[in-house]
Structure 1
Amino acid sequence: MLKDKVFLTQTDTTIGFISQNADRLTQIKQRPPYKHYITAVNSQKILQCFTRIPSTHHNRVRRSKKTTFIMPNGHSYRLIQDIHHLLLLNRLKWAYTTSANLSGSNYDEAFAKEHADVIITPLQTSKQASKIYKLGKTTLKRIR
């Protein structure tokens, strides 16, 4: 069943773990359980199932590439545009995404391959991290 699997794949920004099971990702990364993961979604329609996008930011979210948005509810979402990353997300519709390393550590290929259930190749070098913006009702604040 795909919901319990942890995928190691090239995301739109880095090599990362993707899964619909946040508890499993927390256990693998040895990360505090109170931290939220970025939820990657394949369409704006699926994004609207999770949260309400403030009306002043609809176009910004729809047109963004490699950008994560922290919504007013405190959860973060990324609308995926990358064709290769969408191949997996179109099957899952949404998934939690995180870098493929221990929390606070650098990428280690041996660690990543050991803890993934499914490895999707090719794995390329890490690219630039995504931009992160915090959306308010009318405000926009750049976090990273």
Structure 2
Amino acid sequence: MSVLLAQTDTTVGFLSNDAKSLEKLKSRPPKKQFLKVYPSFKEFKKNGNRVPQKYKNLVRRAEKTTFIIKGRASRIVKDPLHLKLLKKYSWLYSTSANKSGYGFDKEFCITKSDIIIEDHRGLKEETPSSLYRLNNVKSRRLR
């Protein structure tokens, strides 16, 4: 699959169903996993993800929040513009639109992506999502 460049619900990001393409593009170590974004909680569950019972409502209702559950980072998108793109896929890998370890560079992003999706918001770096690690016993805010 091709690599998309789009304004996500949080910041500018590369999106793809192919993690290898994103690894190569960002010069990222292959062991480091990518965030998976889903258009709905139903789609999240359909892909074999499970949330500890006491956090289901939190995960279902959270906006601009990434959850790490059993070592996998996931986010359910609520932003209508980003959601419109995601509904065409059941899920996508997502990562910030920059070279690994560097800041946002619009020229780098444009040259490395196959498809550029730009709406009225443009392409601009914004604050990343909140980040929580969840397990059966407790939750921990990481960012």
The TM-score range, normalised by the shorter chain, is over 0.9
Identify the residue that residue 142 of structure 1 maps to in structure 2: 141
Shift of 1:26: 0.2
The 5 Å alignment of 1:1-144 reads 4-48=1-45, 49-71=47-69, 73-122=70-119, 123-144=122-143
Residue identity opposite 2:5 in structure 1: L
How far is the alpha carbon of 1:138 from its aligned partner?
2.7
Identity %: 39
Please give the per-residue CA displacement for 1:44-79, whole angstroms capped at 9, x wherever unaligned.
1111123111100000001100000000x2000000
Backbone CA RMSD of aligned residues: 0.8
Flag structure 1 segments of 5+ consecutive residues without an equivalent.
Answer: none
Say whether the 8 Å CA contact 1:56–1:138 is kept in structure 2: no
Question: TM-score normalized by structure 2?
Answer: 0.95
Runs of 4+ with deviation above 4 angstroms: none
Greater helix percent: which structure? 1
* Mean CA deviation greater in 60-69 or 116-125: 116-125
What is the DSSP-based 3-state SS (H/G/I as helix, E as strand, rest coil) of the residue aligned with 2:88?
helix
Distance 1:127 1:99 in 2: 10
Deviation at 1:126, TM superposition (A): 1.6
Say how many residue pairs are matched.
Answer: 140
Scaled by the length of structure 1, what TM-score is found?
0.94
Task: Say whether the 8 Å CA contact 2:15–2:92 is kept in structure 1.
Answer: yes
User: Is the 2:6–2:123 Cα contact (8 Å) retained in structure 1?
Assistant: no
